[in-house]
A and B are shown apart, each in its own frame.
Chain A
Amino acid sequence: MTISHHADPATLMSFAAGSLEEPLAAVVAAHAALCPVCRGEIRRLERIGAALVGNLSAAPVASRAPTLPELAALEADQEPESGPEPVAGGDVPVPLRKLVGRDLDSIPWRRLGLGIWHLPLPLSPGVVGDLRLIKVAPGQVMPAHGHGGPELTLLLAGSYRDQLGHYATGDLADLDDAVEHQPVADPVAGCICLIASIEKARFKSVLARLIQPFIGF
């Protein structure tokens, strides 16, 4: 897989800092699972975090390090950790497998009409924003739209083309408010994307126009 569109450095920096909003962080984690270049950048950015934490003044810690018997006792208390998810096989990026399984083919899509399906994904309580999978039929044209805030789109299968270029599997479109675009899904393969925004209502308005494109003009 050749990946030619990556996350913005400012997005990666906040991700490495642990301060990127949850829906956006989910997309960056999924992209990084596919993209060795961004994994390398995140590693470098984590060094910056370690350096900054190293410069903090030490807060007095009330307790001392647990001794060996104490550590053994704590470990005995610990529930056995379930092994890692199997990594081999499947085309869903590893960070998303707990949510949607490992195969894009078995995602329980909900039809929105006119060549588009989606699956909204849950966020932690109190988190503002939107995270969802979108499946677009071959050749389908999305309504032109701008962004009131950041939007991240990761291509999981197929491709699309818009004013900014051609986005194929593994590519990440990191767009902010200045950008207006009108994606067209690949004429043969269509596309499957993971999309995150930190605005609550945005997808509704974009999708509403898609579903009723000839009404209300």
Chain B
Amino acid sequence: MADLLRRVATAADAEAFSSLFETYAPRVKSYMMRQGTDAATAEELAQETMLAVWRKASLYSADKGSAATWIFTIARNLRIDRLRRQRVWQELPDGHQEEADDAPLPEQIVAEREASIRVQAALAGLPADQLEVVTLGYIEGFSHSEIAERLGLPLGTVKSRMRLAYAKLRTEMEDLA
């Protein structure tokens, strides 16, 4: 996926963009719906996410994680902005760290694929109660106290389940940027 993104960035390659669109737009739409938006708004936010991918592709660099991770952050930020209408504080501007470097090395592409397989495996290995709080946080957009309310648990239990989940995931991700 990083190579498609690179083609969009360097050559304004519409075909590469179309592949990215087909892969990510349906999942971003699904994500927006789980976050509580109606189907029409979710569709619109998925489109906006992909347009931002087109526009900002030149700012993507491997230090921003995998292509999927970068697209996730764009979708997440759009969702936050839509929910709040205006966000008082600002994200770090894109390109704050460094500009995108040249074409990815083949080993970077392989490493990215391996990394995402490892994250998936680590998630699959979480106990159900930990995966539940993690999913409610990421996919349903619930805060700690909303998760506590939903599950009828003390706030401290929600936080400690998240900490335990991250400790497990973290060991699997130690060497990932």
The interface of chain A, by Cβ under 8 A from chain B, is 8-10, 12-14, 17-22, 25-26, 29-30, 32-33, 40, 43-68, 71, 74-75, 78, 84-85, 87, 94-99, 121-125, 127, 131, 149-150, 176-178, 198
Contacts and interface: CB of A to CB of B under 8 A. Distances in A.
A85 B89 CA distance: 13
Contact of A47 (B43, B65, B93): B65
Given A55-B120, A58-B30, A10 B159 contact: yes
A87 B118 CA distance: 35
Contacts of A87: 93, 96
Nearest to B63: A43
A194 to B, nearest CB: 10
A99 B87 CA distance: 11
Contacts of A122: 88
Judged by DSSP, the binding face of B is helix
B173 A44 contact: yes
Interface of B: 12, 14, 17-18, 20-22, 25-31, 33-34, 39, 42-43, 46-47, 50-51, 54-55, 64-66, 68-69, 71-73, 75-77, 79-80, 84-96, 115-116, 119-120, 123, 134-135, 137-139, 141-146, 155-156, 158-160, 162-163, 165-167, 169-170, 173, 176-177
A195 B25 CA distance: 38
A209 B51 CA distance: 52
B72 A46 contact: yes
B90 A97 contact: yes
Interface-centre pick from A20, A50, A55, A65 (highest chain B CB count, 10 A): A50
B31 A56 contact: yes
A26 B166 CA distance: 22
